[in-house]
Amino acid sequence: MSRGRGSNLARLIFLGPGLIMLTLLAVVPMLLMLSTMFFQRGRFGGVVYEFTTANFSRLFQPLYLNVIQDSLVVAGLVTVLALLIGYPTAYAIAQLPPKWKTIALLAIMLPFWTNFLIRMYAWTILLSGPGLVNEALTGIGLIDKPLELLYNRGTVVVGLLYGYLSLMILPIYSAVERLDPRLREASANLGASPVRTFFSVTLPLTLPSALIGAVLVFVPSFGNFVVPEILGGGKAIMVGNLIRDQFLKARDWPFGATIALVMVVVTVILLLAQAVVSRRTRSA
Amino acid sequence: MTLLSIEGVSRKFGNVTALSDVSIDIQQGEFFALLGPSGCGKTTLLRILAGFETPDRGGVRLDGADLLKLAPHKRPVNLMFQSYALFPHMTVAKNVAYGLERENLPRAEIKARVGEVLEKVGLEPMANRRPAQLSGGQQQRVALARAIVKRPRLLLLDEPLSALDKKVRAEMQLELKRLQHEVGITFVVVTHDQEEAMSLADRIAVMDQGRVEQVDAPVTLYDRPRTYFVADFIGANNLFTGAIRGGVFSAEGLGPLPSKATTADGSAALAIRPERVRLTEPTPGMVQGVVVDVSFYGGVSHIAVEVTGLGRKVLAATQGSARITPGTVVGVTWRPEDAVLIAN
């Protein structure tokens, strides 16, 4: 009994500062902000504290539903591509000799130390009409005139993928790295081909980490407004842009908060799904 | 009938020689042990048999066919891992069924065989548990069940009992032996524990520094060690280094010792088991010493004698309690035929 209480106290001491910070500086402001969705917008911005459900019905207008749906498609596409590219990359890095492993991981992390905005602007230079990619393609005679590579949904997907791919690679890498090599040997020893071993042993045991990576990529992609702005040219509007516009341009906090709720709900659903799958996969 | 023949296998890791020209023949239905201190190469040899390592030189034949040509997953050889390597995301039944599913057997047959083997190792009630929910001994049985359910030609066991506590270990030793008789599969067990090897195996290959020192039945290894390493490694032994001249063994600093020289003249060692050493009234010309320690172990007593002119103590074992006390001056002798001479 006393031992249990002691460890509870210790737990509280360790968790306390973090919990207080999170509650005061993240949860409370977020709840305050979200609570505005039950109220009306003031004539010149601000919030008029009169109860209404109009914000919710407005959310279901096709205009906004389309934006939400588009954002889900873009973020989903980015996540799937990140998984398809990230998993083999992470797997390959985990098989490298230790020295090369460090170099490869460093290469993956390196872009992270550069400002996100600058990296995105760099893409506009690469992809613009007279940019490097078009120059190269015309140079080798593959195309006659420059392609329109910038300012469409594909560009947004590429930009988001580039921005968040490492968030997929790192958790998968650590899971593959941690995987007991004897499990794969045991699988081979029991008659499983390398492909079979991958799908029956390696993949299921690293899936929880791949899902963490998927959540890490999906959530910031879904709410992103910088990439659609810079690489999408403002044409490809996403939820993030919508929220930003409501708060900063339309000065409609209540409706902005309502759309933000969509993001919170999507994120929570994803985290719950991830938790359920990991629990099922993990031993005991 | 020879099932497995290992012919001149060598393997180096950088500058370290893991295996040096190892040749062993293992018979069909045999319980064979590879015994040696850690780092002697026994695990490397096992991994070569399973296909996780390739030798630099030499060959391995199973039933006369080249085993090294086959990919690991195509070998009729199953390995029970030291760490068990059970799949944590599968139930006990799924773990055991895994190897059979790879053979694309009908579901009904897989189910029947899994049930049968789980019953054999006494784990039927645990079929739907995950490995993490089992005790060490139970996990060990799952690993064994998973390996034997495929009915391999050869079953390799890597330190199968090392992770178990002493009591469970003794039980599992008996069980392994019973199982081996029942299923009739050839077992090759790797171990550093000589008691385990002696009690389990029909024959033992003693290995040291990548070489095979001696391959023999446990009793022969104990009674007739052929190398100094084996004499020293297997059981307690009193070893004297010296030389044979004209059919008589003389130890350095002690002079002639009782023995029946069968080996030719040259430098040699003499080994005499503690239980063969007799302590008598000292008479001239006999090796003499002072009793320094008497330990009673229930069934036997160990008496350590400090022998004049010898660096180390001579150990003698007697049945029951010893009537001798420390400080007594004794003569140390043995029957000449009990001494084992090892040529260098």
Please give, rounded to a whole number of angstroms, the shortest distance from the CA of B84 to a CA of chain A: 9
Residue in A closest to B155 by C-alpha: A189
Partnered with residue B31 across adjacent β-strands are B187
In a shared domain, residues A88 and A30: no
- Inform me whether the pLDDT recorded for A284 exceeds 60: no
B63 within 8 A of B37, measured Cβ to Cβ: no
Please report the number of interchain residue pairs, chain A to chain B, with beta-carbon separation below 8 angstroms: 70
- Inform me whether the pLDDT recorded for A97 exceeds 50: yes
- A46 part of a folded domain: no
Domain of A180, CATH number, reads 1.10.3720.10
- In this prediction, residue A34 carries a pLDDT of 86
- In this prediction, residue A1 carries a pLDDT of 42
Please give, rounded to a whole number of angstroms, the shortest distance from the CA of B132 to a CA of chain A: 6
- Inform me whether the pLDDT recorded for A8 exceeds 90: no
CB contact under 8 Å between B102 and A183, yes or no, is no
In a shared domain, residues A101 and A177: yes
Of B287, B285, B286, B252, the C-alpha closest to B267 is: B252
CB contact under 8 Å between A282 and B131, yes or no, is no
Top residue of B46, B73, B81, B104 to mutate, by most chain A CBs within 10 Å, is: B73
- A45 part of a folded domain: no
What are the Cα distances from residue A137, in Å, to A129, A143, A153, B72? 11, 6, 21, 47
Query: Which chain B residues have any C-beta within 8 angstroms of a chain A C-beta?
Result: 50-52, 71-75, 77-79, 81, 83, 85-89, 98-99, 102-103, 130-133, 146, 150
Check if A191 contacts B (Cβ < 8 Å). Answer: yes
- The count of structural domains within chain A is 2
CB contact under 8 Å between B50 and A284, yes or no, is no
Please give, rounded to a whole number of angstroms, the shortest distance from the CA of A172 to a CA of chain B: 17
DSSP label of B23: E
pLDDT bin (cut points 50, 70, 90) of residue A187 is very high
- A43 part of a folded domain: no
Locate B334 and state its tokens.
């043995």
In a shared domain, residues A237 and A129: yes
Spell out, as residue ranges, where chain B has pLDDT lower than 50: none
Check if A183 contacts B (Cβ < 8 Å). Answer: yes
In a shared domain, residues A145 and A89: yes
Please give, rounded to a whole number of angstroms, the shortest distance from the CA of A202 to a CA of chain B: 10
Q: Considering only A123-132, A208-217, A246-255, B36-45, which range has the smallest mean pLDDT?
A: A123-132
Top residue of B78, B83, B87 to mutate, by most chain A CBs within 10 Å, is: B87
Q: In what order do the strands lie in the sheet with B300-307?
A: B278-280, B329-333, B287-296, B300-307, B313-319
Q: Which domain holds residue A15?
A: 1-38
- A60 part of a folded domain: yes
The CATH architecture one would assign to domain B2-223 is: 3-Layer(aba) Sandwich (3.40)
Bigger pLDDT: A151 vs A88: A88
CB contact under 8 Å between B146 and A190, yes or no, is yes
Strands B278-280 and B266-272: unpaired
Q: Which residues in chain A are contacts of B95 at CB distance < 8 A?
A: none
d(CA A228, CA A153) in angstroms, rounded, equals 8
Could you report the predicted ipTM of this complex, rounded to two decimals?
A: 0.84
CB contact under 8 Å between A189 and B72, yes or no, is yes
Chain A residues 35-54 within an 8 A CB cutoff of chain B: none
- Inform me whether the pLDDT recorded for A236 exceeds 70: no
Q: Which residues in chain B are contacts of A205 at CB distance < 8 A?
A: 88-89
User: How much is the mean pLDDT over chain A?
Assistant: 87
Residue in A closest to B147 by C-alpha: A190
Bigger pLDDT: A165 vs B300: A165
Check if A205 contacts B (Cβ < 8 Å). Answer: yes
Locate A92 and state its tokens.
């390959």
Query: What is the share, in percent, of chain A residues with pLDDT greater than 70?
Result: 95
- In this prediction, residue B255 carries a pLDDT of 83
CB contact under 8 Å between B130 and A190, yes or no, is no
In a shared domain, residues A81 and A29: no
Check if A187 contacts B (Cβ < 8 Å). Answer: yes
Distance of CA A256 to the CA centre of its chain: 21
- A157 part of a folded domain: yes
CB contact under 8 Å between B132 and A183, yes or no, is no
Please give, rounded to a whole number of angstroms, the shortest distance from the CA of B128 to a CA of chain A: 12
In a shared domain, residues A20 and A103: no
Query: What is the share, in percent, of chain A residues with pLDDT greater than 90?
Result: 43
Residue in A closest to B97 by C-alpha: A190
User: How much is the mean pLDDT over chain B?
Assistant: 90
Q: Which residues in chain B are contacts of A191 at CB distance < 8 A?
A: 73-74, 99, 102-103, 150
CB contact under 8 Å between A189 and B78, yes or no, is yes
d(CA B253, CA B241) in angstroms, rounded, equals 10
CB contact under 8 Å between A185 and B52, yes or no, is yes
Q: Which residues in chain B are contacts of A197 at CB distance < 8 A?
A: 73
Please give, rounded to a whole number of angstroms, the shortest distance from the CA of A90 to a CA of chain B: 21
The domain made up of B236-343 is a member of CATH 3.40.50.300: no
- In this prediction, residue A283 carries a pLDDT of 46
Please give, rounded to a whole number of angstroms, the shortest distance from the CA of A178 to a CA of chain B: 13
- pLDDT tens sequence across A246-282: 888 888 889 999 999 988 899 999 999 888 888 877 6
- Domain borders along chain B are 2-223, 236-343
Check if A175 contacts B (Cβ < 8 Å). Answer: no
Alpha helix locations (H) across chain A? 2-22, 28-35, 54-59, 62-95, 98-109, 116-127, 132-139, 153-178, 181-189, 194-197, 203-222, 226-230, 239-244, 253-281
B53 within 8 A of B30, measured Cβ to Cβ: no
3-state secondary structure of A40: strand
Residues near B79 by beta carbon (within 8 Å), at least 6 away in sequence: A185, A186, A189, B46, B50, B147, B155, B156, B157, B158
CB contact under 8 Å between B99 and A191, yes or no, is yes
Average pLDDT over residues A210-214: 93
